[in-house]
Amino acid sequence: MDPSARNYLIVTGGYWAFTVTDGAIRMLVVLYFHLLGYTPFQVAMLFLFYELFGVVTNLVGGWLGARTGLNRTMHIGMGLQVLALLLTVPDAWLSVPYVMAVQALSGIAKDLNKMSAKASVKTLAGAGGESKLFRWVALLTGSKNALKGAGFFVGAALLQAIGFRGALMVLPGLLLVVLVATSLALPAGVGKMKSKPKFTQVFSKTPAINWLSAARFFLFGARDVWFVVGLPVFLYSVLGWSFMAVGGFLALWVIGYGFVQASAPALVRRSRHGHGPGGGTARVWAVVLALVPAGIALALGQGWPAGPVLIAGLAVFGVVFAINSAVHSYLILAYSDFEKVSLNVGFYYMANAGGRLTGTVLSGWAYQTHGLEGCLWWSAAFVAAAALLSLKLPPVLPAAATGRAR
């Protein structure tokens, strides 16, 4: 097997294992604290530091990866996740501040691992061309999201079978095995810059990357502004769904979203020269996405049955959002030099984490003050902002994805 393909598979396998544990611990916390009597909004706030520390981690992680190598930062992330999972304590200790602190550690771990894995794809794809880069990053990202949904099921099943603490002993053991295996199998120094970059270099000086990062902020804010708090609370409290039904439905949505994302190269029209998508593609799909939450809000406002409207609307939103996300994930790598890929990816995912943080906080406020329709209109406005920012995104030149390492 080609060494780059082999290393790509190792990175992907490690990312898969990490993602399952990440989805499982989220579902464990949600279900367990619901059983303890916490409100949905209080449960959502448990993840506030998880998102907040993602902003800082991506900024610092990209710089650290450029100095030490991406495989090292990936394994640091795995180690921190093992530690977060092992922090099981008596029930008396399971207060909101303590769990927020543990989730902060898990958030640091997740973003170190994600930044490292995705930045590695640029290095491992090498000069294979834009189509290869688009396929590899779409497969990595899409499969990750599908497995995060599977992790929701794993967390619920472990909670049912062996309880909260039992689950938090099994998961770190499995992840530790993967950590050791990948650390032995991967070559050292993947993504490491030849010169030691200064911390100020984490702030991109490339306009395309800055515009894309700004668009990414609003794209992921648009998802979480109704998906994190508004939607599950509405399904549970208004439509009367059981908590397990809500969790199962959202897990299936994430899995389906991941499959669409992995299939994005086949769904997105590429140029007749075989190049990957460019700024124009990002603009078109952002405009299409903005129409979806607006359409759902209008349908609910007209009194249409909420259940069928939300199920159908979520399906359409998931497909179109997945394509938007896949195009963005490709563009950040295509716009980046080989030497600076970890710095650029870290900066880009800092914006991604900022959007998720903003969406998470705004979701609770918007639902409390304006209901689910208000959340949906905020979502439409955020996507419209992403579309406007995408007007500044240039096409991808062949040198951008194949070299820029000239």
Q: Predicted confidence band at 406 (pLDDT cuts at 50, 70, 90)?
A: very low
Residue pair 379/313 in contact (Cβ under 8 Å)? The answer is: no
pLDDT at 405 over 50: no
83 CB contacts (<8 Å, ≥6 apart)? 105, 172
Q: Predicted confidence band at 54 (pLDDT cuts at 50, 70, 90)?
A: confident
CA distance readout (Å), 3 to 80, 130, 185, 373: 28, 19, 11, 51
Residue pair 241/122 in contact (Cβ under 8 Å)? The answer is: no
Q: Report pLDDT for 404.
A: 42
Task: Give the chain's mean pLDDT.
Answer: 79
Q: Report pLDDT for 75.
A: 83
Cα 86 to Cα 47: distance, rounded to the nearest angstrom: 18
Q: Predicted confidence band at 286 (pLDDT cuts at 50, 70, 90)?
A: very high
Compute the average pLDDT of residues 70-85: 83
pLDDT at 171 over 70: yes
Q: Report pLDDT for 203.
A: 55
pLDDT in tens, 177-207: 988 888 887 766 554 545 555 555 555 567 8
Report the percent of the chain where pLDDT is more than 90.
Answer: 20
Q: Predicted confidence band at 391 (pLDDT cuts at 50, 70, 90)?
A: very high
Q: Report pLDDT for 284.
A: 93
Residue 326 per-residue DSSP state = H
User: In this predicted structure, which of 60-74, 76-90, 149-163, 276-290 has the lowest mean pLDDT?
Assistant: 60-74
What is the full DSSP assignment across 71-136? HHHHHHHHHHHHHHHH----GGG--HHHHHHHHHHHHHHHHHHHHHHHHHHHHHHTTS-HHHHHHH
Residue 194 per-residue DSSP state = S
Q: Predicted confidence band at 14 (pLDDT cuts at 50, 70, 90)?
A: confident
Residue bearing the bigger pLDDT, 320 or 8: 320
Q: Report pLDDT for 401.
A: 44
Q: Report pLDDT for 390.
A: 94
Q: Where are the domains of the chain?
A: 3-398
- The CATH code of domain 3-398 reads 1.20.1250.20
pLDDT in tens, 208-263: 888 999 999 999 999 999 887 788 888 888 898 876 677 778 878 888 888 887 77
Compute the average pLDDT of residues 302-310: 94
Compute the average pLDDT of residues 332-361: 77
